[in-house]
Amino acid sequence: MTLRMHVDAGRWRRHLQATLAATPGLVPVAKGNGYGFGIEMLAHEATALGVDTLAVGTYPEIDSAAGFGGTVLVLSPWRPFLGAPKDDRRVLHTVSRLDDLAEMAALPHRPRVLVEVLTSMRRHGIPAERLDEVRPLLDGVQLEGWTVHLPLVGDTTSEAQRLIDRARSVREAPAWVSHVPAAQLARLGDGIRSRVGTGLWLGAPGALDVRSTVLDVHNLSPGQTFGYRQRSLRRGGVLLVVSGGTAHGIALAAPSAVSTMRQRGIAAAEGGLQALGRARSPFILDGRGTWFAEPPHMQCSMILLPSGAPVPRPGDDVEVRVRHTIAHVDEVVLH
Ligand SMILES: *Cc1c(COP(=O)(O)O)cnc(C)c1O
């Protein structure tokens, strides 16, 4: 039941190197599902890139990044109730509330911190107008920078510049930013650290190819039922069982494409499948998208062969268009 991601390693690593060269102070981000590669693998790639810092999302993810020898930045802000490691000098904490900064400053070992400034994202951060209250707390910590997390739209560079200037009037320190286009980073001055995940790991077009395998092929006669839901095809067809299910992050595509009554009518006329609940699948056969025969199972999916397409055999590969930020493949194969 294997779902594999094939990586054109030469192409992928050339892109990693090019991104490194184009991005001042690059800090690779390896969090969550590790952008489909897994955090462990990205930790080793970050080591090969020679960067000094790797960012993870949460405190428990630090363990997955053990293969990286440098500083590990935790992007989720420190909170007293999160069970952060007490005195691990590899760890660089993000602090986003005055109360938390005060608590950290009272610890005996002067933790390494970035202080987060609130942006128009309004997720975490100390509001710019309260930054003067940060100053007296800085003696108790090792301030390694100011950090801002910007939205993906709008004039983020101007916002970053304004907030960084304000923060640097409190204490001169590097500025850690996300989602500022590489071409704009120069406007922010020196000492910029740019955190990049998607654009780094997933930015090389054509380097990644996720493949499922045909596990079974069933000819369906008209009206013959199949699946947990015992649906049937009025005109019959070919049912394929392919590897890849909900455990891999294979989900029903938003059914909006077939949501109107008219489209449902078309769907019904086309295949005779009970049109209600019919959903596009991410599996590609004969260069064409396919339909789920029913919602994906845990580790495999039932899909319908597009009419007229050559019938594959068990063991054949099937292309899958996954969202890499939610995919969990069984195997990453470098070529
Ligand atoms: C996840 C995250 C990033 C990386 O985002 P991408 O869009 O994947 O590049 C950068 N900064 C912060 C604070 C994040 O949480």
Residue ranges covered by each domain of the chain: 9-203, 206-334
Distance 94 CA to ligand 1 centre (A): 13
Ligand 1 atom showing the smallest separation from residue 200 Cα: 9
pLDDT-above-90 percentage for the chain: 82
What token pair was written down for 199?
A: 């654009």
Distance 141 CA to ligand 1 centre (A): 25
- pLDDT value of position 270: 44
- pLDDT value of position 257: 46
Distance 25 CA to ligand 1 centre (A): 15
Options 3.30.1490.20, 2.40.110.10, 2.40.37.10, 1.10.3720.10; which CATH number does 206-334 get? 2.40.37.10
pLDDT greater than 60 at residue 272: no
How many CB atoms within 10 Å of residue 33? 17
Find out whether 278 and 290 touch, Cβ atoms under 8 Å: no
- pLDDT value of position 186: 85
Ligand 1 atom showing the smallest separation from residue 35 Cα: 8
Ligand 1 lined by 197 (C-beta under 6 Å): yes
Distance 30 CA to ligand 1 centre (A): 9
Per-residue pLDDT tens over the stretch 138-191: 999 999 999 999 998 888 899 999 999 999 999 999 999 998 887 888 888 889
Q: Considering only CA atoms, which residue is closest to atom 4 of ligand 1?
A: 197
Picking from 297, 301, 307, the residue whose alpha carbon sits closest to that of residue 320 is 301
Ligand 1 lined by 198 (C-beta under 6 Å): yes
- pLDDT value of position 281: 94
Q: What is the pTM of this model?
A: 0.90
Whose tokens are 């594999």? That residue is 4
Task: Give the three-state DSSP class for 212.
Answer: strand
Average pLDDT over residues 197-223: 96
| Pocket residue to mutate for ligand 1, from 178, 200, 324, 325, most atoms within 8 A of Cβ | 178
CATH number for the segment(s) 9-203: 3.20.20.10
pLDDT-above-70 percentage for the chain: 92
- pLDDT value of position 161: 94
pLDDT band, very low/low/confident/very high, at 334 (cuts 50, 70, 90): very high
Ligand 1 atom showing the smallest separation from residue 31 Cα: 1
| Pocket residue to mutate for ligand 1, from 73, 119, 179, most atoms within 8 A of Cβ | 179
Average pLDDT, the chain: 92
* CA-to-CA dists, residue 129 to 111, 248, 278, 316, 325, angstroms: 24, 45, 52, 61, 35
pLDDT band, very low/low/confident/very high, at 261 (cuts 50, 70, 90): low
pLDDT greater than 80 at residue 256: no
Q: Considering only CA atoms, which residue is closest to atom 15 of ligand 1?
A: 75
Whose tokens are 């990205």? That residue is 42
Find out whether 163 and 148 touch, Cβ atoms under 8 Å: yes
Per-residue pLDDT tens over the stretch 276-301: 457 899 999 999 999 999 999 999 99
